[in-house]
Every structure is written in structure tokens, then in C-alpha cells.
Amino acid sequence: MNSKKAKPAIKNPHPEKDKKDEWILRLYVAGQTAKSITAFTNLKHICETQLEGRYSIEVIDLLQNPQLSREHQILAIPTLVRKLPVPVRKIIGDLSDTEKVLIGLDIKARKVLKSE
């Protein structure tokens, strides 16, 4: 049985939203470094503005659980992993380039398709 100590996930502020549109994101960090804090702040802002309550964020500190880096194939930090919707996607860095994050997570394409 794997026990991982992670910071509590940020729960969806709008649980009445349709579950099929929910985004599950994991942010892997190593302590509370400036890059880790910046990555979390940027991710939270992107989620609030683009995903409108249809997301949950789990922050996993690899200093507390270094074995998870190998198990989850994390090669650099901070790393954002999109678990849902599939396919799984990974973005490395502090997520400060919002445009690249939107494209990397496939949020931008989803917004364009919905407006047609």
C-alpha cells in the first residue's frame, strides 16, 4: 500500500458542474521554493480564469516523498501533470507563460471548439 503525503487538493468550488468536464491536475514540487510557489500561483490563476470551477489541484511535495518522482516519472520540478481529461499531459516549469500552458494543457483548443 502506497502512502503519499501530499498537500490537500483544492476542491472544485462548483461541485454541481458536470463531472465529465472536470480537470484533475497534479503539481509536483520540491518544498516551498520560489519556483514552486510561482507555479502554484500561476496554475491557480489559469484554472480560475479558464476552467471556471471544473478542476481540482493536488500539490505533491517530492522532498517529503522522493520515491514518487520515480513512480510517477517526474524528471524535473516543478512539473504539472494533467490526469483528466485524458490523455495525460506534462508541463515542466513555473507556468509563467500562460499561452504555452493553455496550449500544453489543450485548454485553448477546447475553448475554440466550444465556441463554434
3-state helix, strand, coil in the chain (%, to 5): 35, 20, 40
Q: What percent of the chain has pLDDT over 70?
A: 76
Architecture of domain 19-115: 3-Layer(aba) Sandwich (3.40)
Report pTM. 0.77
Among residues 31, 83, 36, the alpha carbon closest in space to that of 57 is found at: 83
Is residue 39 within 8 Å of 93, Cβ to Cβ?
yes
d(CA 42, CA 46): 6
Distance (Å) of CA 62 to CA 47, 53, 59, 76, 98: 23, 27, 10, 11, 24
- Predicted confidence (pLDDT) per residue in 24-62, tens digit: 999 999 999 999 999 999 999 999 999 999 999 999 999
